[in-house]
């Protein structure tokens, strides 16, 4: 296993649309292992492969709390089959936008189809934080970030802040 580097704003690779996985092979299994190590190390409750620079439709999650046993889940080629009219608001964060949190409203209940690590098709219904997390991760696969769901003013503020920080880092390196 190896930890991979998590891309952060304003890295343009976060805007790539990820490609479907044709076959769950050794390369995908290695990617998934590394994603878990990276996600647990961060720590985060979810991770999309594109966040470690691999634009493939692979997502890992673990929503277990600190005192609960681990609950690692893998979603390959996840598809949103249905989303409720009812919406729920959660304070979201993103490992690619460190230390920024904002409330986002999304459908409260969703149905998702995906392929598991054994290559079998699965369907789940989710609500609560899992519903939010799965939508957040599927967004990543489409090049969408949670800040795309907040007000224009808040979004431009956070983009500016990260652009400025990135600029400062390159200046320091020169
Ligand atoms: O660790 C994470 N926490 C989180 C909290 C609320 C809604 C979504 C998330 S996902 C995030 C990890 C991440 O960036 N996944 O893409
Ligand atoms: Ni994220």
Q: Does the residue 50 lie in any domain?
A: yes
Ligand closest to 132 (CA) is: 1
- Per the structure block, which two tokens stand in for 158? 């956070």
pLDDT at 1: 82
134 in any annotated domain:
yes
Protein residue with its CA nearest to atom 5 in ligand 1: 92
In a domain, 5, yes or no: no
Distance 144 CA to ligand 2 centre (A): 9
Catalytic residue among 92, 125, 137, 172: 137
- pLDDT given for residue 170 in this prediction: 84
Is 6 contained in some domain? no
Q: Which residues line ligand 1 (CB under 6 A)?
A: 44-48, 51, 90, 92-96, 132-133, 136-137, 140
C-alpha distance from residue 47 to each of 33, 94, 156, 160 (Å)? 12, 9, 24, 24
Stated as kind and residue range, the H or E segment containing 26 is: helix 26-41
Question: Residue 30: which domain range?
Answer: 12-173
Specify the pLDDT at position 34: 98
Does 85 participate in catalysis according to the annotation? no
Question: pLDDT (tens digit, 0 to 9) for every residue of the chain, 174 residues total?
Answer: 899 999 999 999 999 999 999 999 999 999 999 999 999 999 999 999 999 999 999 999 999 998 999 999 999 999 999 999 999 999 999 999 999 999 999 999 999 999 999 999 999 999 999 999 999 999 999 999 999 999 999 999 999 999 999 999 888 887
| CATH number for the domain harbouring residue 63 | 3.90.45.10
CA-nearest residue for atom 6, ligand 1, is 92
Question: Would you say residue 7 lies in a domain?
Answer: no
Which pLDDT score, from 0 to 100, does residue 172 have?
Answer: 84
Q: How many domains does the chain have?
A: 1
């Amino acid at each position: 296993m190896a930890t991979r580097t998590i891309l952060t704003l304003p890295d343009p690779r976060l805007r790539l649309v990820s490609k479907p996985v044709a076959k769950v092979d050794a390369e995908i299994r290695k990617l998934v292992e590394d994603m878990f190590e990276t996600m647990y190390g961060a720590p985060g409750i979810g991770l999309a492969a594109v966040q470690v620079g691999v634009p493939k439709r692979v997502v890992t999650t673990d929503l277990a709390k600190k005192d609960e046993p681990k609950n690692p889940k893998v979603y390959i080629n996840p598809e949103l089959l249905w989303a409720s009219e009812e919406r729920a608001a959660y304070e979201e964060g993103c490992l690619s936008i460190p230390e920024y949190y904002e409330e986002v409203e999304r459908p409260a209940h969703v149905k998702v189809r995906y392929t598991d690590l054994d290559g079998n098709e699965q369907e789940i219904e989710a609500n609560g934080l899992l519903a939010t997390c799965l939508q957040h991760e599927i967004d990543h696969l489409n090049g969408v970030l949670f800040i795309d769901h907040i007000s224009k003013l808040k979004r431009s503020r956070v983009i500016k802040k990260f652009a400025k920080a990135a600029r400062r880092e390159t200046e320091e390196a020169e």
